[in-house]
Amino acid sequence: MFFIFGVGPKTKVVEKKQFKCPVCRTCSNYELRQQRQYFSLFFIALFPVSRRQNTTVKCLHCGTVMPSMVLHHTQQEAK
């Protein structure tokens, strides 16, 4: 009997809202995504083995993936 196990990244969508994309310059929807390392057995992610690592924002209009700092900059411009 043999086991296939390992550690790999898994991305989870945390929130969906609207913002002004700095790339395509339109007011569009975005997805805030967080990535963590998970222990997997037979290619099924079972439990996390690390803290949240990467937090990225994906514009659903142009498809650009950016760091989450973009949200803080767009909120400051709106004020």
How many CB atoms neighbour CB 13 within 10 A? 10
Tell me what pLDDT residue 43 has: 85
Tell me what pLDDT residue 73 has: 72
Q: What is the pLDDT along the chain (79 residues), one digit of tens a residue?
A: 788 889 988 889 999 999 999 999 999 999 999 999 999 998 888 998 987 778 999 999 999 999 988 888 765 665 5
